[in-house]
C-alpha cells in the first residue's frame, strides 16, 4: 500500500473493510465497543493470513528453497516496515514477541538480569496486571524494589510524586502510554526525560496507544516500547518489543533454542546477533507478516483524522452518559483516548454488561486487569466502552438507548 497519498477518511467505507462488523448477535446488529480488549481485523489482513498459509507457508531463516526464502523475506520486510513505522533507528531494534505481556516479561527477565538488589523499578498506579506482575516477580528474584507512582482522582499520574520517587536508585520506569481502564493519555515524553535525568531507563506499555496515535520512538526517546498486534487490527499471538540497540546488545538472551544461536557446542554456545538473539524457535511467521499488513492498513489514513473521529465519539458518548442520574465516569483526565469507563450507583457492572450484551452491544465489564486501580476507586469494576475508528455516532445512540433500558430494569 502506498502511504504517501492518504486515503480519504470515510467511516462508512472503513466499515466495509471489516467483515466481523457485519453480523447480528441475538438478532441485533453487532455494536462492537470492546476495542480496548481487542480490535476487529480488516479484509486486507485476513487476505494476507490466507495468502500466507495457502501459498507461502515455509519455515524461515533456514531453507535454501524458494518458499523458505520468500517467507523469510516477507517476515523481514515486515520487521523493516514496523521499524520505519515506529521511526526506529534500525530493524535490529524490532523484536517479534507474542504480545505486550510477552515483551514486558522479556525485558523483566533479560534487562532484569542486569539489575542488583536494592535497585528500584517505578510503575504507576494505573498499570495493567501485565505491567505489574513481571516486575513483582523480578523483585522477588533479584531483591529489587518496586515503587508505585500515585494517581489523582481524575486518573492522572501525579507528576510531583513521580519526580520525588526518581533517584539514582531508579533503574527502570515502566508506565503505560494510555490507561486501558481510564483512557488517560500519560505525558510520557516528559516522563521519559525526567527518568533519563537520573539515568533510569523507560519502558512504555503501548498496548493502548499504537492503534490511536502515531508512535515515534526516536522522538519519545523511550528505551523500550511494547505492543500487541491484536489490538492494532492484526493477529493475536504476535507483538513487538522495540528496544534501543545498545541496550538490547547488553542484555542476555531471554529463551534458548533454534534461531537465536550462532554456534552450538556442548562446551559453549555463542548467541546470534540482534534481533535474532531474542527470537528463539520458529516464530509466529504469519503473525509477523500480517502485523506489518495491519500497520500498513492503518498507515493509509492520516492519523489526525482517526484521532479526531475517535475523540468525537468518546466526547459524544460521555456527554450522553452524563445525562443519566447517578452516573459516574471513571477517568476524567482532560487528555483521554476513546475509552469511556463508567459505573452507575446501585448497579453492578456485571449486570449492565449482561443486559447490554443481550441488546447486541459488546462492552467490557469488570476490573480490566487493573485490580489495584479499582481498589483505588473503591469499586468492583466498571463498564467500559472503547471505540475504534470504525465506530459511529449512530452506534452510540443505540448504545445509550440500551444503557437507559438497562438502568430502567436494574434500578
Partner 1 sequence: MTLEEKQKEIVEDFAIYDDWMEKYEYIIELGRDLPIIEEEKKTKDRIIEGCQSQVWLDSSFADGKMHFKADSDAIITKGIIGLLIRVLDDEKPEDIAKCDLHFIQEIGLHEHLSPTRSNGLASMVKKMKMSALKALTTNDSEQKA
Contacts of 119 (CB under 8 A, 6+ apart): 144, 145, 169, 170, 171
Choose, by CB under 6 A, the member of 131, 170, 382, 386 that binds ligand PLP: 131
Catalytic: 369?
yes
Contact of residue 367 among partner 1, ligand PLP, none (CB under 5-8 Å per partner type): partner 1
Task: Quote the CA–CA distance of 184 and 205 in Å, as a whole number.
Answer: 13
Residue 399 DSSP code: H
Query: Residue 243 or 353: which CB sits closer to partner 1?
Result: 353
Q: Does 372 bind partner 1 (CB under 8 A)?
A: no
Query: Residue 332 or 357: which CB sits closer to partner 1?
Result: 357
Query: Residue 134 or 253: which CB sits closer to ligand PLP?
Result: 134
Q: How far is the CB of 401 from partner 1 (least distance, A)?
A: 12
Choose, by CB under 8 A, the member of 164, 218, 250, 358 that binds partner 1: 358
Enumerate residues 151-210 that contact ligand PLP by CB under 6 A: 176, 180, 205, 207-208
Q: How many residues bind ligand PLP (CB under 6 A)?
A: 13
Closest CA to 110 of 253, 312, 212: 253
Q: How far is the CB of 348 from partner 1 (least distance, A)?
A: 4
Q: Does 409 bind partner 1 (CB under 8 A)?
A: yes
Contacts of 213 (CB under 8 A, 6+ apart): 303, 307, 337
Query: Residue 283 or 353: which CB sits closer to partner 1?
Result: 353
Choose, by CB under 8 A, the member of 187, 237, 258, 366 that binds partner 1: 366
Closest CA to 148 of 169, 207, 158, 341: 158
Cell for 182? 481510564
Enumerate residues 77-106 that contact ligand PLP by CB under 6 A: 99-101
Tell me which of 139, 222, 290, 369 is the catalytic residue. 369
Closest CA to 408 of 351, 368, 365, 366: 351
Contact of residue 53 among partner 1, ligand PLP, none (CB under 5-8 Å per partner type): none
Query: Residue 203 or 369: which CB sits closer to ligand PLP?
Result: 369
Choose, by CB under 8 A, the member of 19, 350, 394, 401 that binds partner 1: 350
Cα separation values, 103 from 108, 193, 204, 206, 367, Å:
9, 22, 11, 11, 22
Enumerate residues 24-53 that contact ligand PLP by CB under 6 A: none
Residue 178 DSSP code: B
**3-state secondary structure at position 199:** coil
Q: How far is the CB of 373 from partner 1 (least distance, A)?
A: 15
Query: Residue 150 or 380: which CB sits closer to partner 1?
Result: 380
Enumerate residues 309-348 that contact partner 1 by CB under 8 A: 348
Cβ(389)–Cβ(39) below 8 Å? no
Query: H helices of 22-113, where?
Result: 43-51, 66-86, 100-110
In which element (H, E) is residue 283 found?
none
Number of H helices, E strands in the chain: 14, 17
Contact of residue 101 among ligand PLP, partner 1, none (CB under 5-8 Å per partner type): ligand PLP
Q: Does 405 bind partner 1 (CB under 8 A)?
A: yes
Q: How far is the CB of 341 from partner 1 (least distance, A)?
A: 15
Query: Residue 110 or 130: which CB sits closer to partner 1?
Result: 130
Enumerate residues 17-76 that contact partner 1 by CB under 8 A: 26
Cα separation values, 367 from 36, 131, 341, 378, Å:
13, 15, 11, 11
Cα separation values, 64 from 70, 77, 166, 281, 286, Å:
10, 18, 52, 18, 19
Closest CA to 51 of 292, 351, 233, 363: 292
Radius of gyration of the chain (CA): 22
Q: Which are the catalytic amino acids?
A: 369
Q: Provide the binding-site residues for ligand PLP, judged by CB under 6 A.
A: 99-101, 128, 130-131, 176, 180, 205, 207-208, 228, 369
Q: Provide the binding-site residues for partner 1, judged by CB under 8 A.
A: 26, 348-351, 353-355, 358-359, 365-367, 380-381, 405, 409-410
Amino acid at each position: 500500500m502506498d502511504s504517501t497519498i492518504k486515503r480519504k477518511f470515510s467511516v462508512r467505507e472503513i466499515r466495509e473493510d471489516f467483515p466481523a462488523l457485519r453480523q447480528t448477535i441475538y438478532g441485533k446488529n453487532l455494536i462492537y465497543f470492546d476495542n480496548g480488549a481487542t480490535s476487529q481485523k480488516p479484509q486486507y489482513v485476513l487476505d494476507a493470513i490466507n495468502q500466507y498459509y495457502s501459498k507461502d507457508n515455509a519455515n524461515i531463516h533456514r531453507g535454501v528453497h524458494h518458499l523458505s526464502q520468500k517467507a523469510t523475506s516477507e517476515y523481514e520486510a515486515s520487521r523493516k516496515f514496523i521499524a520505519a513505522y515506529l521511526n526506529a533507528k534500525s530493524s535490529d531494534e524490532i523484536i517479534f514477541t507474542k504480545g505486550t505481556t510477552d515483551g514486558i516479561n522479556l525485558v523483566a527477565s533479560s534487562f532484569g538480569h542486569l539489575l542488583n538488589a536494592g535497585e528500584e523499578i517505578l510503575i504507576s498506579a494505573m498499570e495493567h496486571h501485565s505491567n505489574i506482575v513481571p516486575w513483582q516477580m523480578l523483585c522477588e528474584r533479584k531483591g529489587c524494589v518496586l515503587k508505585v507512582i500515585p494517581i489523582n482522582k481524575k486518573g492522572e499520574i501525579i507528576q510531583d510524586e513521580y519526580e520525588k520517587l526518581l533517584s539514582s536508585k531508579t533503574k527502570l520506569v515502566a508506565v503505560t502510554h494510555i490507561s486501558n481502564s481510564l483512557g488517560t493519555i500519560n505525558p510520557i515524553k516528559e516522563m521519559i526525560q525526567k527518568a533519563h535525568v537520573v539515568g533510569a531507563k523507560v519502558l512504555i506499555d503501548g498496548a493502548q496507544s499504537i492503534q490511536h496515535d502515531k508512535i515515534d520512538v526516536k522522538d519519545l526517546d523511550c528505551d523500550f516500547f511494547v505492543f500487541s498486534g491484536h489490538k492494532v487490527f492484526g493477529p493475536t499471538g504476535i507483538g513487538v518489543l522495540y528496544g534501543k540497540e545498545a541496550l538490547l546488545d547488553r542484555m542476555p538472551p531471554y529463551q534458548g533454542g533454534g534461531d537465536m544461536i550462532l554456534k552450538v557446542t556442548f562446551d559453549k554456545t555463542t548467541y546470534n546477533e540482534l534481533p535474532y538473539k531474542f527470537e528463539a524457535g520458529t516464530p509466529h511467521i504469519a503473525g509477523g507478516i500480517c502485523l506489518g499488513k495491519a500497520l500498513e492498513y492503518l498507515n493509509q489514513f492520516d492519523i489526525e483524522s482517526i484521532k479526531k473521529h475517535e475523540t468525537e465519539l468518546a466526547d459524544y458518548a460521555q456527554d450522553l452518559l452524563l445525562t443519566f442520574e447517578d452516573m459516574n465516569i471513571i477517568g476524567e483526565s482532560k487528555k483521554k483516548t476513546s475509552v469511556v469507563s463508567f459505573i452507575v450507583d446501585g448497579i453492578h457492572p456485571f449486570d449492565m454488561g449482561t443486559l447490554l450484551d443481550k441488546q447486541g452491544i459488546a462492552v467490557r465489564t469488570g476490573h480490566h486487569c487493573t485490580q489495584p486501580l479499582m481498589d483505588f476507586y473503591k469499586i468492583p469494576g466498571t463498564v467500559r466502552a472503547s471505540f475504534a475508528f470504525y465506530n459511529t455516532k449512530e452506534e452510540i445512540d443505540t448504545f445509550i438507548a440500551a444503557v437507559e433500558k438497562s438502568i430502567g430494569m436494574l434500578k
